[in-house]
Structure 1
């Protein structure tokens, strides 16, 4: 009978981290980011807790990662530690170990509970090439439509879903090269992404948004259903 692997001690502290994905690093896949982050915690000598088993790995919980190709000011993860540390010190040392474009914003002690359960909605900024007047008319038509089915390839194959049901808010304003859409999205299964909303605008109103829309997540967190406000999950 093979020897059983040693059991790791349980974590003594958990930290929740908000980070940003900026510039060219918006093209970083989630897998590439996770590798970069694990290298950073090693270089910063963060006293990580590890999983048990024959191949222990640092305890890092990722939640609500933005799609590859989109920038974000509000990405979140949680790390489990083998020692109690000062979150401010971890923020400095870990921030120095991460590559430029993957930038730490906030590090706090976790109050417990599930971080993923707090990430109920996101607010997005979407810059498109369409003229403001056409975009505003398309937004009005989209919001007046009860259901907007779209299709997207997922890990389970082609899926059709209603992108309108996930939209908490949608508005158009003058952008740097056309229109800036402000989009509030409820997190659903399957997930509705900002590019799905663009597909819906094309479907409902024939809006031509250009070939290279710039997607930036500005916030994600608990959703106040009465006001549509997305609150900070770390407070």
Structure 2
């Protein structure tokens, strides 16, 4: 069998789709594209698909990941092309690589998030973020199917900064796909703050709404609306950046082709 790792997006109106419905749409696309999936054993065989750390409903993403096990060898680039023809709008495959050594979930150590807060000025957001960063602990509550859960949102926030929605030069330089979606913004909107955070993947996971609840706790900031996008995932590097989780897979593939030394 062949194992492939895919990066895909969840954009536009698709962010309101639950992960379960998204997974069903993905399985239909695999069938339409004729992907030779390996199947599980038992009375109800299922295609071998492993999802990694999916975003919650209502959140967009530029960096979602999934693993596939195939019954035959295929070219990852060809698979991307064929699947993109069958996937719903907003779910686009960005890259596919042959799986190298190690576990993909272990490489998804942290994520970078962009959270738009229309109606909140950049100055007000910067003040609230400063209060959050100096706090040692900020407890927030989340309602789950098992009841109310309390967590320390501050512990998961590794860094936070505020950008101005009108600073298109800075936004296009760092987040080009964000600018590409500018037509999706409501017209005539006043300048507002955009919160950029690096959040460690914890158990339970701290989500964008948990960070916003933490801002409410420390600074009484309660935005009327918010739109969050996960921009990237990966391991933290020595400089506080996020390493590409596919880097090891590309290196292993290049070594097999004789393009890199094995020592």
User: What TM-score, normalized to structure 1?
Assistant: 0.92
Quote how far apart the aligned CAs of 1:175 are. 1.9
1:154 matches 2:144: yes
Q: What residue in structure 2 maps to residue 232 of structure 1?
A: 244
Structure number having the greater helix percentage: 2
1-structure distance, mates of 2:111, 2:197: 8
Q: What residue in structure 1 maps to residue 212 of structure 2?
A: 198
1:186 matches 2:176: no
1:122 matches 2:136: no
Quote how far apart the aligned CAs of 1:103 are. 0.8
Equivalent residue runs for 1:1-235 within 5 Å: 12-129=1-118, 130-175=120-165, 177-210=191-224, 212-224=225-237, 226-235=238-247
Quote how far apart the aligned CAs of 1:156 are. 2.7
Quote how far apart the aligned CAs of 1:109 are. 0.5
2-structure distance, mates of 1:112, 1:49: 20
1-structure distance, mates of 2:222, 2:43: 53
Deviates more, 1:112-121 or 1:19-28: 112-121
Structure 2's unaligned 5+ residue stretches are 167-190, 248-263
1-structure distance, mates of 2:211, 2:230: 14
Structure 1's unaligned 5+ residue stretches are 1-11
How has the CA–CA distance of structure 1 residues 155 and 228 changed in structure 2, closer, same or farther, with 3 Å as cutoff?
Answer: farther
Determine helix, strand or coil for the equivalent of 2:163: strand
2-structure distance, mates of 1:114, 1:155: 29
1-structure distance, mates of 2:244, 2:9: 14
- Deviations 1:11-62 (CA, angstroms, capped at 9, x unpaired): x110000000000001111100110000000000001000000100000000
1-structure distance, mates of 2:240, 2:144: 28
User: What CA RMSD, in Å, does the superposition of the two structures yield over aligned residues?
Assistant: 1.0
Deviates more, 1:40-49 or 1:104-113: 104-113
Determine helix, strand or coil for the equivalent of 1:33: helix
Quote how far apart the aligned CAs of 1:223 are. 1.8
